Structure 1
Amino acid sequence: MSVVFSGIKPSGELTLGNYLGAMAQFLTYQEEEAYFCIVNQHAITVPQEAAELRQQTRRLAALYLASGLDPEKVTIFIQSEVPAHAQLAWIMTTLSQMGELERMTQYKEKAGGLNESIPAGLLTYPPFMAADILLYQADVVPVGDDQQQHLELTRTLAQRFNYRFGETFKLPVAAVAKETTRVMSLQDPLKKMSKSAEDSGTILLLDSPAVITKKIKRAVTDSENKLSYDPESKPGVSNLMAIYASISGLSYAEIEQKYADIPGYGQFKLDLAELVVGLLEPIQRRYGEIMAGDELDDMLTIGAQRASRVANKNLHQAEYAMGLSRR
């Protein structure tokens, strides 16, 4: 049985892209020893309103459950409720080199326009992420393409620790989401659908059926009016087809054949909207039940306790190897 770890930041509203690219993938690991974390400490690398962060954390935990994760099979918990994450993060930070952290693509992108007001947390985010993963001796980490560089640093830091202090950490491998699950903006298909963008290019998991349908109807396509998958010359249509394929299970060729005799994109968009609504409606219904009930707090308390037992054991082994113990 493999050990799996992954987490999502509770910042912004979750999108269809988050579900297809991450949460739907989580469901395939429920027979493994899996840890799914709400990484709220990563969210504070940029300023957050306390009440909003608290609410977003609960909403994300509820969506974990509503999406189908079974707390009897997997461990769902909030990062800040397991102090070992921050403790191992400091250790990983001391093993990191400034050059390594400054070369991180996400750091350069996010810090680019901040001049001298760059939060130090943006720089030290990667070793904290490494600590999250190594703390559970994860074998597999489901990640998107934009996180692979961080996972490579995680492996580097684990190797560095093992070389200096003896074999302690496993070297995790990435489980990259399938190409069809990479959901781009409906209005700018060259950019990823962002959970911080509340516009017509983003489908939120909690959008109403009417709003979802409206956004898909207005999605950017092209003037060719022929359904075919070609990300380079037809990025808008190809993005919609990727969403359709992910939900329906049909191949691109099968989708093209299905609409070969239907001119324009109107019917295709209507059918896609129906697919998306059908996917999200039961999640939204279950989410409402969870938020109105008492099970969420009980689940998170048990999850934090379960995660802490494993995390503390591995943290103490690392501390002992480094000499951070009296005996």
Structure 2
Amino acid sequence: MTRLSGATPSGRAQLGNYLGAIRRWAAEGTADDLYFVSDLHAMTTAYNPQRLRALTREMLAVLIGAGIRPASVFVQSDIMRDLTALTWVLECTSTFGEVARMIQFKEKSAGAKTVRLGLLTYPVLMAADILLQGADEVPVGEDQSQHVELARALARRFNTTFGDVFVVPDLVVPQVAARVRDLADPSRKMAKSSRDDAGVVFVLDSPDLVRRKFRRAVTDTANRVEYRPDEQPGVANLLEILGACTGRSPAEAAAGITTYSALKDQAADAVIEELSGIRKRTLDLLDDPAELDRIRATGAAHAAERGSHRLEAALRVAGLG
């Protein structure tokens, strides 16, 4: 069974990405699973080309540094020719109504003066990502579930219309280890694309910077360290982070902590310890560009080989070539 997951380099990898997905990929992934850096997805809104290239390399290094098998990781644009060929076939299988009703498109395009066509059609590209590799399962958050349902619908329609080529993937919504919120504003989730990174802990932040961000974390005036998410969202966020890093529930993590300063220090120490290994391995890879390029090329070759026969079959039954 093959599972496929991707990480978009719309910003630097942060603590929420790591605790919510990357750590699980490294711990639970098998030799058949595939993980990719979805740099093409990062082009659907305005972006800086040099920054995109740098963030793509950093995200690739983070995935490897987290302990994911190098042979299981690739960069999406490295197999772009195959993906764009399949995307066109799937676009001609899809309908305008199917992509226009996507919630993410509606949210991101609302109020915008101009909307890139790629923002509308990128769910079809995502379907090509999934179907090209023959993924059996696609673990995604709730915000991406609609896109996986589109991939399932297109696979069934193509198979029925032209011939049995694609695996119809199963949607899997994994249990999230922690609801990591922004340290400066616990009403919003921690996000790598946040414009204000004062409350965002990045995987590659230095220990001193991590401590400074936690010491500035928003709490409240109740002066009680208890896990009460509705009444004390800032404190609950710190307890959830501490618990996720130490293998305890948030309520268990609160035991013995009597002050907010102690809570912030313990949470910071736990995060620094959790990220120390991945940070070192990632920085070592980034300091060895030849090795990172070698890993990237190997992953691309593996992904291209895995999907080539499926693409050829799809083109053939669709009347091309």
When the two structures are superposed, what TM-score results if normalisation uses the length of structure 1?
A: 0.91
1:151 matched residue in structure 2: 148
The 2-side partners of 1:302 and 1:179 are apart by 31
Q: For residues 235 and 92 of structure 1, do their structure 2 counterparts lie closer, same or farther at Cα, with a shift above 3 Å needed?
A: farther
Say whether the 8 Å CA contact 1:22–1:143 is kept in structure 2.
no
Cα distance change of structure 1 residues 241 and 321 upon mapping to structure 2, 3 Å threshold? farther
1:296 corresponding residue in structure 2: 292
Q: CA separation in 1, counterparts of 2:98 and 2:77?
A: 26
Paired position in structure 2 for 1:97: 95
Query: What stretches of structure 1 of length at least 5 have no aligned partner?
Result: none
1:283 to 2:275 alignment: no
Using the TM superposition, give the Cα deviation of residue 46 of structure 1 relative to its aligned residue in structure 2, in angstroms: 1.8
In structure 1, C-alpha distance between the alignment counterparts of 2:239 and 2:169, rounded to whole Å: 32
Residue in structure 1 matching 2:133, options 119, 133, 136: 136
Q: Does 1:16 align with 2:15?
A: yes
**Structure 2 unaligned blocks of 5 or more:** none
CA deviations over 1:255-297 (Å, ceiling 9, x no partner)? 23x23xx433221111010000111122221122111222111
CA contact (8 A) 1:186 1:216 kept: yes
Structure 1 stretch 174-183 or stretch 130-139: which is displaced more? 174-183
* Amino acid in the other structure paired with 2:300: A
Q: Distance in 2 between matches of 1:187 and 1:176?
A: 28
Does 2:62 align with 1:63?
yes
What is the CA-CA distance between 1:121 and the residue it aligns to? Answer: 0.4
SS at match of 2:3: strand
Identity of aligned residues (%): 39
Deviation at 1:137, TM superposition (A): 1.0
CA distance in structure 1 between the partners assigned to 2:35 and 2:233 by the alignment: 32
Alignment of 1:207-246 (within 5 A): 207-246=205-244
Deviation, 1:113, is 2.3
How many residue pairs match? The answer is 318
Match for 1:266 among 261, 270, 279?
261
Q: Give the structure 1 partner of residue 163 of structure 2.
A: 166
Name the stretch that deviates more: 222-231 or 127-136: 222-231
Superposition TM-score, scaled by structure 2 size: 0.93
CA positional deviation for 1:234: 2.7
SS of 1:185 mapped into structure 2: coil
Q: Which amino acid aligns with 2:47?
A: Q
Decide whether the 8 Å contact of 2:240 with 2:249 is kept in 1.
no
Asked if the contact 1:126–1:150 (Cα under 8 Å) also holds between the matched residues in 2, the reply is: yes
SS of the residue corresponding to residue 3 of structure 1 reads coil
- Give the CA deviation at 1:176: 2.6
Instruction: Confirm whether residue 323 of structure 1 aligns to residue 319 of structure 2.
Output: yes
Whether the 8 Å contact between 1:10 and 1:57 is mirrored in structure 2 is yes
Q: State which drifts further: 12-21 or 222-231.
A: 222-231
**In structure 1, distance between residues paired with 2:138 and 2:228:** 30
Q: Distance in 2 between matches of 1:31 and 1:199?
A: 34
Q: CA deviation at 1:230?
A: 3.3
- Give secondary structure in 2 for the equivalent of 1:181: coil
CA distance in 1, matches of 2:227, 2:86: 45
Q: Can you list the C-alpha shifts for 1:23-56, whole angstroms capped at 9, x where unaligned? A: 1121134324111111111111123322222222
Alignment deviations for residues 161-218 of structure 1 (CA, whole Å, 9 cap, x no partner): 2222233222222333423333221122222211122421211111111111111122
Q: Distance in 1 between matches of 2:234 and 2:154?
A: 39
What is the alpha-carbon distance in structure 2 between the residues aligned to residue 175 and residue 60 of structure 1? 23
* Aligned residues of 2:6 and 2:37 also touching (Cα < 8 A): yes
How far is 1:104 from its partner?
1.3
Q: Equivalent residues in 2 for 1:74-89 (5 A)?
A: 74-82=71-79, 83-89=81-87
What does residue 4 of structure 1 align with? 3
Report if the CA contact (8 A) 1:139-1:170 is conserved.
yes
**AA matched with 2:45:** V
* Alignment-mate amino acid for residue 55 of structure 1: A
Partners of 1:180 and 1:234 in 2: how far apart?
19
> What is the RMSD computed on CA atoms of the aligned residues?
1.7
Moved over 6 A (4+): none
Q: CA deviation at 1:321?
A: 2.3
Tell me the distance in 2 between the aligned counterparts of 1:102 and 1:5.
25
* Partner AA of 2:168 in structure 1: L
* 1:70 to partner: Cα distance: 2.1
Q: Match for 2:25: what amino acid? A: F
Q: How far apart, CA to CA, are the structure 1 residues paired with 2:207 and 2:221?
A: 27
Tell me the residue number matched to 1:311: 307
Task: Please state how far the C-alpha of 1:308 moved relative to its aligned partner.
Answer: 0.5
CA distance in 1, matches of 2:229, 2:161: 46
Q: Is the 8 A contact 2:243 2:252 kept in 1?
A: no
Moved more, 14-23 or 189-198: 189-198
